[in-house]
A and B are shown apart, each in its own frame.
Chain A
Amino acid sequence: MADSFTLPLRPIPEKRERPDTLPVEIAQINNQWGSFREVNEDVLRNKIAEEEEKDGLDEVDESDQDATDLDSTERLEQLYKRRAEITQFAMQAHMETMFALDFVSLLLSKQAPRQAETSMSAFLKQVAPLGSLNAEVVNPPPKPESTIKDISAVSRGWRIQNFNAAANKLLQAASRLETEVASETRYWNEVLAVKDKGWKISRLPRERQSLGVQYGFLEATPVFRNRGLASLRRAEDGALLLDEGLIPSKARFVRVRVIQDGKLSGRSRPTRSTFNGNATIEDRILQARDTVYEEELFHELVREARAIASFGVTTRQNLIQIPASDNLEILLDLVDTDEDTSQPEHDISQQGTSLADGLAHTIRILLAYAHRQNLRRRTMLPLPLTPKTRPVPEHQLIRPALAYIKHMSDVRWLQSLLKDLFGVLQSAGLKPPAYTARVFSTKRQKQTSSAPVVETLIGQFLTPLLSTFHGKLLTPRGSFSIAIHTNLSSTPFGTTFDVSFNMPKYPDLESPGKLSQREEVEAAINHLLLLDVVFTISSNSGSLKSESDKDQAKGSWEAIYPQHGELLIPSSKSESRKKMKIALSRHELSVEIYSVRCIDGTGRGNWEKPSSHSMPHIWKPSPIAGSPNQPSLMDFVSAAVSR
C-alpha cells in the first residue's frame, strides 16, 4: 500500500501566471545600473578594477597589519582598546535590548500585568505605573497597490521556501528511518538467531532499555555470575556487538604444566582455538563464556591452593605450584590462549601431556560438579538465619586430583616393593603364594539418592581413595593385608598404610596398624616376611626330621630369635652349635651360617663368636629367570644341617 500511494511533499513548482517579461527585466536593470547607453568598456573596466582594488585593499590591509611590527605594549593597548570597544558595543546592545524589553513590557502591562511585571526593570516599575501605556490599532492608511503586491509576493516566496525546507527535512527523516529500519531488522534478526541457538536473552537489570545475553553460570561465585551477562549492542549498520564491559575480551585459559625431574614434560592445550577477526557473534559469546569459566576456575584454584598450603602448595600472583609426588610438580597458571607456543618442545613426553590434559579436564569437570553442588545447596531449605555469615567452603578441585596422583604413586611404590621382595623369595627357591591387589577398591555406594548418575560418579572420586593388597604367606594360615588410604579433603590428611598380619605361629605379634611413612611400611613388611621365612625353615627342617630317621641325629633348625632372623641347631653333645642368620631386604636374601660357642647357643654379645667365618650366601633376583647353578634356600639349609 505504501508504494502504491505516494504523497508529494515538495510544493509543486507552479508556473508563474505571468512570467517576468523582458521589459520588466530591462526596467530592473535600468533601475539598478542606469541606462544601457552609459555602459561601455571603460565603465566596465573601471568597475572591475574597483572591485579588484577593494579585494586587494583588504589583502594589503591584512599584510600591512602583519607587516607592521607593533611592539607588545602597543599591541596590548590595542587589544584592550578593541576589547573595550566590543564590551561597549555589547553594553549598548544590551541596553537597547533592555529598553525594548521595558517598552514591550510596559505596553503589555495593560493587558497582562502579572506577566509583564516580571520582565520589567526595577527603574521602570518605579517610574511608570503598570498599564500606563496602551496601544490601539488605528486604521492604517491604504497601502498602494504595488506594496500589497510586493508583500504578497514576498510572503509567497517565504512560504514556498519553508515548504521546501520542511519537505527536505521530511525526506531526510524518511531515508534515515529507512536505514534505521534496515539496521534494526538486521539487529533483531541476529538477536533472534542468538536466541534460537539457545542463549538466554534478557533485559539488562541496570539498563532497562538494552538487551543482554546470559552466558555465564548461575551457580558460579557471585562475582563471576554477574560477569556472565553481556549487553548486545547495535553497531551503526545493525551488526550485533557483544559489549562485555570492563572485561578484557582476550581469551584466556588455565594451563596445566607438568614438571618431571625439573623439566617440563607436558602441558595442556586450550580447548578452543582462538578465532581471527571475522568471528560470528556466537563465537564471541562462546569465547566470553569460556573465559569467564576459566577465570572462575583459576580464582577457585587459588582459593583452594591457599587452603592447602600445608601440602607445600605455593601461590603467586598468577601461578600455583603443586608438588604432587616424588619428583613430579604441577604448575597451574592463567594465560592467553594465543600465548605459549614458542617454548621448546623437546622435553614433552606422551605421558606428561596426557597427565596434564587429564588434570586440565579433571579440574574443569570438578568445577562443573561444584556448580551442581551449589545449585543443590541453594535449593535446599535454608538454614535458620543467624547473625554470622557462613563461610563458603573451597571447592574441591586440586585435592581430588592430587590425592589421585599421590595414591597412585604410593600404590606403585608398594607394588614395586612387593614385587622386589617376592622376587627375592622366588630366587631363593621359596614359592610365595601370589597376592592380590585391588586398586581403588572404595566401596561403591548404592545409588539411593536421587542425584543423577554423573554426580554420583564424580562424588565417588571425592571420597577418600582406598586400595588394598591381600596375600597369603608361606606359613599355613598366615596372611597379610595392606590398605592404602589417601585423603586430602578431611583429617587426617595424606596417605596412611594400614598394615595387618595374621601369623598363627606368633600370636603375640601385633599388626603395626596405621603407618604413614614408606620406610615404616617397608620395615614392617620386611619383618613379616623374615619371620615367615624363618618359620618356614624351622618347620621344614622339622618335617624333614620326622620324615627321615637318618637326619634325626643331626637335629633341626630351631628359631631362637625369629625377629632377628636367627636359627640354631640345638645339640646336646658339643659346645659349638651351628647358628644361621638370615637377613632379608628388597634387594637380597642373605644367609650366614657359623658356629657359636656358648651354653645354649642363645647367648649374644661377646659369647657369640663365629668360629668359622663362612661367606654369607646371597640370593638376588637375577634378571635371567631361574639360574640353575644356585641351590634353593631349602636345599642350602638342609645341606647345612647335614654338614
Chain B
Amino acid sequence: MHEQSLFASVPVHQHHELLQQLAGLTAMQPRHCLERRLIFKAYRKPGMAGRTGASQDLQQADLQRLNKMLNGNMYYTQVVGPVSESDFGSTAPVDGDTQMAGTDDSKPNVSSSSYDYERQPWKLEFRDIPEAGTRSAVTSRLMSSATLPRGDIVQAMNAWGYNFTTEYVVEGDMFIHNDIAIFLHRVLHYPGGDGSNLPRRQLPPLKDMTLFEKSGSYVLQAYIIVQDGSNQETMKTASQHLFGLREQLKSAVVLEQADRLSLDTRAK
C-alpha cells in the first residue's frame, strides 16, 4: 500500500480555529485520538551467515531474491496502540504515609488509573522513506500496517528481530474528508526522559507529559492510502484529491510536501 500525504505546521494559537474550520469542512466532529507509539529498530542483519550448506535446493533466482530480502535496508518501525484519556494516571497526590510505611512497595506510584498494559491492543506500522524524484508534489511512501497481539509486544518484536528503542505519545484530532484522513496532532514525551528500555506498564498523568515541540504547535497531516501503488491512475486520483483539499484549505493553512530526508525511517 502507498500513502500519499501533505503536511502543514499549525501554530498553537491557530489550533482551535483550525479545528472549527476542519469540522465545518468535513461536516463531522473531531475524533480525539491518543496513541502510544513505540519505536522499534531492526537490530540484526541476518544475511546468509551461518548457512554454509544445503543451498543447492534453492534456485538461483530464489536465492537472489532471498539475499536481497535479507540483506536489504533495515528500518525503524512503529508499534501504535490507541489509549484513552482515562488510561493516563490521575494527578492525585500519592499518600505519603502509605509510602513511608513501606508496606506495599508493589503499588505503583501513579495510582487509580485503570490502564491495563496486558490488554493494550497494538498495530505495527511500517513506513518507507518517501519516494525520491517523483514529479508529483505530494509525499508518497510505501506503507503497511498489521494488527499485533494484545499485551506485551516486546517479546514478539524481539523474536522478529526488533529492539525496543523509545516511546512517545501522540495526541490529536482526526477528521475524515471523503477519502482523505486529516490528522491534526502533536507529539508528547514522557516526563523523566527515556529511563527504561522497556515500554511503560503504567502511564503518567497526561498533564505531566512534556511537549516535544516546546511552542506546542501542531502538525497537520492529510493523507490518502492507496491500495495499489503501481496503479498510476489511482495514485493520480489520490494526489488530485489532496490538491483539492489544499485548495480548499488555502486560506487557513498551507499544505505542502514534507522534506523527504526528514521522514527517513532507515536504520543506519
Chain A: residues with CB nearer than 8 A to chain B? 218, 375, 378-382, 384-387
Contacts and interface: CB of A to CB of B under 8 A. Distances in A.
B153 interface: no
Contacts of A387: 228, 231, 233-234
Given A218-B27, A384-B1, A378 B176 contact: yes
Contact of A385 (B28, B174, B176, B237): B237
Contacts of A218: 27
A386 B176 contact: no
A386 B31 contact: no
10 contacts: A218-B27, A375-B28, A381-B174, A381-B181, A382-B180, A382-B224, A384-B1, A385-B224, A385-B226, A387-B228
Given A385-B225, A385-B226, A386-B228, A379 B237 contact: no
Main secondary structure of the interface of B (DSSP, over half): mixed
B141 to A, nearest CB: 14
Contacts of B220: none
Contacts of A381: 174, 176, 181
A499 B74 CA distance: 60
Given A218-B27, A375-B28, A382 B225 contact: yes
Contacts of A382: 176, 178-181, 224-225
B28 A378 contact: yes
Name, among A379, A384, A385, A386, the residue most crowded by chain B CB atoms within 10 Å (CB to CB): A385
Nearest to A385: B226
A386 B180 contact: no
Interface in B165-221: 174, 176, 178-181
Nearest to B179: A382
Contacts of A379: 28, 31, 176
A340 to B, nearest CB: 37
B227 interface: yes
Contacts of A380: 176
Given A375-B28, A378-B28, A386 B179 contact: no
Contacts of B225: 382, 384-385
Nearest to B228: A386
Interface of B: 1, 27-28, 31, 174, 176, 178-181, 224-228, 231, 233-234, 237-238
Contacts of A385: 179, 224-227, 234, 237-238
A379 B32 CA distance: 12
Contacts of A375: 28
Name, among A378, A381, A384, the residue most crowded by chain B CB atoms within 10 Å (CB to CB): A384
A386 B225 CA distance: 9
A164 B228 CA distance: 78
A69 B49 CA distance: 124
B182 to A, nearest CB: 11
Given A379-B28, A379-B31, A384 B178 contact: no
B234 A386 contact: yes
A379 B234 CA distance: 22
A216 to B, nearest CB: 12
Given A379-B176, A381-B176, 19 more contacts: A218-B27, A378-B176, A379-B31, A381-B174, A381-B181, A382-B179, A382-B181, A382-B225, A384-B225, A384-B226, A384-B227, A385-B179, A385-B224, A386-B227, A386-B228, A386-B234, A387-B231, A387-B233, A387-B234
B247 to A, nearest CB: 14
A387 B237 CA distance: 9
A386 B229 CA distance: 10
Contacts of B233: 387
B226 to A, nearest CB: 5
B75 to A, nearest CB: 21
Contacts of A384: 1, 225-227
Nearest to B175: A379
Nearest to A382: B179
A382 B28 CA distance: 14
Contacts of B178: 382
A218 B29 CA distance: 13
A384 B180 CA distance: 10
Contacts of B181: 381-382
Contacts of B28: 375, 378-379
Contacts of B226: 384-385
A208 to B, nearest CB: 14
A218 B231 CA distance: 32
Contacts of B1: 384
Nearest to A202: B24
A382 B223 CA distance: 10
A384 B227 CA distance: 5
A373 B98 CA distance: 50
B44 to A, nearest CB: 31
Nearest to A387: B234
B92 to A, nearest CB: 26
Nearest to B29: A379
A379 B22 CA distance: 13
A384 B2 CA distance: 9
A217 to B, nearest CB: 11
A223 to B, nearest CB: 17
Nearest to B31: A379
A301 B178 CA distance: 25
A387 B235 CA distance: 10
A387 B232 CA distance: 10
Closest 6 CB pairs of A and B: A384-B227, A384-B225, A386-B227, A385-B226, A379-B28, A382-B179
B228 to A, nearest CB: 7
Nearest to B174: A381
B261 to A, nearest CB: 26
Contacts of B180: 382
Nearest to B241: A385
A298 B224 CA distance: 35
Contacts of A386: 227-228, 234
Contacts of B227: 384-386
Nearest to B237: A385
A385 B28 CA distance: 21
Nearest to B235: A385
Nearest to A218: B27
Name, among A218, A380, A387, the residue most crowded by chain B CB atoms within 10 Å (CB to CB): A387
A593 B227 CA distance: 78
A297 to B, nearest CB: 21
Nearest to B143: A384
A382 B178 CA distance: 8
A379 B27 CA distance: 9
Contacts of A378: 28, 176
A375 B28 CA distance: 8
